[in-house]
Structure 1
Amino acid sequence: MLQGKVWCLRLLPIPLLIIILAAYNSSYGVLGRYGIVSQSWNTTKMECNGKWESLNLKINKTTKLFLKLEDFFWRKYVSQQPLPYGIKGSELLLLKVLSATKSYDMPAHIESLECRTCVVVGNGFAIKNTSLGRIINNYDVVIRLNDAPVRGYEEDVGNKTTLRIFYPESASSNPRLHNEEDTLMVLVPFKPDDLRWLKEILYDEKRVRKGFWKPPPLIWLGQSSKVRVLDPYFMQQTANKLLQFPLAPKKGQNHFHPTTGLLAVFVALNYCDMVHIAGFGYPPKSDKRQPIHYYGYHTMKSMKNSPHDVSREGRALKRLEDSGAVMYLHRHL
């Protein structure tokens, strides 16, 4: 009897080993599904060093992402460029907007982190059917774009939102529908009319419809304390350093601006120690049927007169990926 118990104890590690191996293979399979194992996922990928000097970009880890009221009083805010690359000519509008919001920082619990993990969730069709929702929710900072929905798509895109980057034409009339209570709504002002729209909302003034390529919401249910205005420095650096766009194109040249998606990636590179992305990429221009978003039915046809150079942005993301600055959470072209 005693001899039988001894043999049982000797054999006990074998099933335990089988269970451990099965769990490892299962997790490895999940990571492989998202294309992570092909990126040599290991502890070195988890280090918070933020080194990508080979890109020759001026990227410095900073906690200052948003414009502050004090920038216009106690320090001289020098800007040689108008919106979207500077604030020249929009100072008075900004004074009114920032006086109403009164909050200019990231949440304290994120600011205090020694290592910030961030994911930028793009609106691309590539994230559909990836089941990345739970993984996305585990990041310290989750950045979403424009009016991309969350409800009904949680399995693929998660439901945590730290920052929602938007502009008036891409604003949802009820931000609370697809955001959390503490989500920061980050305005990217492309033109003075964008600041005017926000001022009219915050002060409940008469709305002026002119000045927009698409009518923005006349009623916007966002909380003023959760509103932030992104420093145009980030748009300027994204255009000039990452995409090499001329900030003041010559006569006859196309005037392109970065998408909010690529802008969000650049913001994350400045603020975060680890940057992962999902839902980026467009279908080939020859593919007229595949939707470009994980929601809705817009195709590449809707990009015909776009002020964005999506091909150049794709190459920029490839450079960032090859340098190790960003990593995709799923397979992509």
Structure 2
Amino acid sequence: MPCSTWYSQKTAPIILNFSRNPNVFLTLEGDWRYTPNIVSYNLPYGIKGNEELVRQILAQTKSNMPERIDGLVCKRCVVVGNGNTLRNSLLGEVINKYDIVIRLNNAPVRGYEQDVGNKTTLRFFYPESAIEDLSGENEPDILFVLVPFKTADLLWLKELVYNKRGTRSGFWRSPPIIKKLDISKLRILNPFYFYQAMTELLQKANVIKKTAPYATTGLLAVTVALNYCDEVHLAGFGYPLNQKTGLIHYFDNLNMNLMSCYLLFPSSSPSFEPLAPSLVDVKYI
């Protein structure tokens, strides 16, 4: 079938002022010069003050997208949220048909295949949301993409990469001790997407100059997909905001009472994945 790209084939992008950057991961070669915010802003919008730390990590890991993904003529992607809307959805078979399946944080797959599928291409996470046993919930070819919110996240990753005892300070919840780690599967998300999500998609141009809530892992994943993919579909996003006892996730019994102080982007814990803004031709399945 023809590739029905969400991006305008005419003279302007569908989303006003949106400029695509397909460099998903931080690399040692070139990216920093061509994406000024990376060295101009602090985390999570850039890596100012953490350049050497990032270099030490990248010297031991990889930063490329596998050719089996990058070489696709049409990249059809689905971002799978963690919302309870997936429970009993029977979308598993549909999700598995996408070229690229992006999952979030520590959302389980095993035992939920009928509703969420079992294919995973990229899993976005931060230390507090990491999975302890990486082999239990993921396929061998998956890439684990760290979303660095703070310097402690990079220090944690460095200690993992260099097989040292992991730090436990600077986190809102103690990160798990990772088992069966293959560092060749680790990547660091390009901070460009954090910057873009807040200044272009959400139109908060001055947000990086003030104290403000962060975009969630889910919104960042959607932002990456809009940059890298030709077709972008979403599944499992949204909260039952009008139901105090409505369930939040498809995999547990946490309910909306825990979110009485609901914000679009909760600053205390990025583990909740609220509804992303409607993004023109982005489709919900």
TM-score interval for Structure 1 and Structure 2 normalised by the shorter chain: 0.7 to 0.9
Instruction: Please tell me whether the aligned partners of residues 201 and 220 of structure 1 are also in contact (alpha carbons under 8 angstroms).
Output: no
* 1:71, distance to aligned residue in structure 2 (A): 4.0
Q: Secondary structure at the match of 1:265?
A: helix
Q: How does 1:149-160 map to 2 (within 5 A)?
A: 149-160=108-119
Distance 1:107 1:306, change over 3 A: farther
Equivalence for 1:206: 165
Q: How does 1:85-96 map to 2 (within 5 A)?
A: 85-96=45-56
* 1:218, distance to aligned residue in structure 2 (A): 2.9
* 1:146, distance to aligned residue in structure 2 (A): 0.2
Equivalence for 2:244: 288
- Among 273, 279, 289, which residue is 2:236 paired with? 279
Q: How does 1:1-333 map to 2 (within 5 A)?
A: 47-48=4-5, 50-51=7-8, 53-60=13-20, 62=22, 64-71=23-30, 78=36, 79-101=39-61, 103-245=62-204, 246-250=206-210, 255-284=212-241, 286-304=242-260, 308-309=264-265, 314=275, 317-318=277-278, 320=279, 323-324=280-281, 326-329=282-285
Deviations 1:208-231 (A, max 9, x none): 211000110133433100000000
Distance, in Å, in 2 between the alignment partners of 1:164 and 1:170 is 11
* 1:116, distance to aligned residue in structure 2 (A): 0.7
Q: Secondary structure at the match of 1:126?
A: helix
Distance, in Å, in 2 between the alignment partners of 1:61 and 1:82 is 20
* 1:303, distance to aligned residue in structure 2 (A): 3.4
TM-score, normalised on structure 2?
0.88
RMSD (CA atoms): 2.3
Bigger Rg, which one: 1
Distance, in Å, in 2 between the alignment partners of 1:84 and 1:180 is 28
Deviations 1:76-117 (A, max 9, x none): 87421100000101111101111121x111110111111110
Distance, in Å, in 2 between the alignment partners of 1:119 and 1:66 is 19
* 1:306, distance to aligned residue in structure 2 (A): 7.1
Q: Secondary structure at the match of 1:69?
A: coil
Aligned residues: 272
Q: Which runs of 5+ in 1 are unaligned?
A: 1-42
More helix by share: 1
Deviations 1:270-323 (A, max 9, x none): 101100110000111x4221211001122223335677537xx64x522x1xx2
Distance 1:133 1:307, change over 3 A: same
TM-score, normalised on structure 1?
0.76
How many percent identity over aligned positions? 47
